Structure 1
């Protein structure tokens, strides 16, 4: 059964607890229960208030168990104060590393908006790169070519754009965006600076050029601080450079294979994590300099527009006007270090507290958490997907956003489920806990 979002709200915490108990009693009784999707629709659209709880569930048995935990106080609640002030949300677009075999399949099968957006991207991938991203996602692991950068990167960007379309269809839009390396392509499109055609052109043409430097250098992920990484680079005499600063204790280094292999051995002896990243190229380093002229020519037709949503650059670490995102910027994005940690710090300083990673599996939530904890700050970190449980994970994050004051488009979430009057079941539950009936119960939020 496809996962569903059970969500309820009330004016006080006591009323919310009473409502949860009423639902639990109803489900345990088990008489005349409608299909789970209809039950969740009625629950979500039948109540309102700042005290909220939402659960992603796949069956009545699952819902009964989760409600039992909530009634026993075993479920973490989002403070109602967050729902009242509606904290700002950042969409965080990952670079490489979130991919897994089978990604995108469940959402493409269950979510028409996701499928339509992915198919639009796929048509442009076919035009610019001569292959089908959708076909690659369907192929058995041994036949797919997602290990090749020129195949992987356009496919990942397509999935990110489809995930963003899904979020928007549910009524969730970002207050700001940020992208890690390649993730800036989908971030710039989401911000309104690039058309879909321009975003897919960058993803396809730039990844094709990257094939030319395959094997000329490598990247290594480390647990060195940015200052320690800079010291290692300075001591290498130019053989190693800092390619990215992901958090106060997570950096990426670039260099030739021999130098990085020696560094791994040295750091191993010191019990410091350092591993060469497989199946990639030495982006954000001198190895990409030879691509500068050809990349400029490949992207010379770009005509970026002003952003409609603030975009925080991981090149500059601060907000950038969309009009600067021409060909030259995408060379800087490929050549200069990824200043992800600094961008996250600046986003939080500007009042953004909720970070939603746009990827098929979370890879940036840990660096975001490390960055916030380093400054003794707290934020909400949410995935848009997890390996093997795509719909359930994204619905769970939607539920958290609901608890934070976001109002989902219930009609989009439950197609065909809108009602114009209070159902008998809704009336019974509300009466049981003496909750006021909504003026337009059952209507989409």
Structure 2
């Protein structure tokens, strides 16, 4: 993600503001200048190591329904499944106990609700994460955030934040709290941001961004099995023909 953002920047593609989804916020903080590359890698590695303590007990499921409908749906699994992320107007991720998710998936199939199990065995953005709060406070204590050169729009807080506040405590909350991605995109669009670039190996959030900001230009970077320069050049061209400035002399 950091490398792709550097490619976009080298080609004149911003960013005017940075943001990410869940762990993607770590890369966004590095791109914004709020974390050093070393600290960003430290947060990813040490947090991933800590998550092993809660692995095997939970999971995550993506449901193609609006938030209110998912909240109603989960009433039968209160205390066992919770909202983990709101990605778009009709794209919600839930997480919780593994057996409860099995029951939920069976219910969705019976009711013809489109639901997909996400291939992880832990429940990010739920109470499960509270078991590793102390460990994360200890191992991330030396993270040294700073005010960056690019505005950073947090999908944890759904607002602009000073990257100097992105300490170990923030990265715990980023893992524990709900991802307010759709709300963040809606607010950015409301502030006049009209183009969104997903710096990833495959555009998994582009559709959700487009649903949250219907009038915005949304482009990806690479695609699955298309990870080379030809695909990136195609993405640059897609961005350019849709009004995103590209410095072709630098390409």
Q: Which residue of 2 aligns with 1:406?
A: 245
- The one of 193, 201, 212 equivalent to 1:360 is 201
Paired with 2:136 and 2:158, the residues of 1 have a C-alpha distance of 23
Q: Tell me the TM-score normalised to structure 2 length.
A: 0.94
CA displacement at 1:186 relative to structure 2: 0.4
Q: Distance in 2 between matches of 1:253 and 1:407?
A: 38
TM-score (ref. length: structure 1)? 0.54
1:395 maps to what in 2? 233
Once residues 324 and 393 of structure 1 are traced to their aligned partners in structure 2, the CA distance between those partners, rounded to angstroms, is 36
In structure 1, runs of 5+ residues without a counterpart are 1-159, 414-445
Contact 1:383 1:393 in 2 (8 A): no
Query: Helix, strand or coil for the counterpart of 2:159?
Result: coil
Q: Structure 1 228/405 Cα, relative in aligned 2: closer, same or farther at 3 Å?
A: closer
* Distance of 2:98 and 2:141 partners within structure 1: 33
How much does 1:170 deviate? 2.1
Q: Equivalent residue for 1:109?
A: none
Structure 2 counterpart of 1:83: none
On the 8 A contact 2:195/2:244 being kept in 1, the answer is no
Determine the structure 2 residue equivalent to 1:314: 155
Q: How does 1:265-414 map to 2 (within 5 A)?
A: 265-372=106-213, 377-390=214-227, 391-403=229-241, 404=243, 406-408=245-247, 410=249, 412-413=250-251
RMSD: 1.5
What residue number does 1:199 align with? Answer: 40
* 2-structure distance, mates of 1:237, 1:173: 43
1:141 maps to: none
Structure 1 position 169, deviation (Å): 2.3
Using the alignment, how far apart are the partners of 2:169 and 2:248 within structure 1? 39
Number of aligned positions between the proteins: 249
Superposition deviation, residue 242 in structure 1: 0.5
Shift of 1:280: 4.1
Please state whether the residue corresponding to 1:219 is helix, strand or coil.
Answer: strand
1:16-415, aligned counterparts within 5 Å? 160-372=1-213, 377-390=214-227, 391-403=229-241, 404=243, 406-408=245-247, 410=249, 412-413=250-251
SS of residue matched to 2:194? strand
Q: Which runs of 5+ in 2 are unaligned?
A: none
What is the rounded CA distance, in whole Å, between the counterparts of 2:121 and 2:206 in structure 1? 21
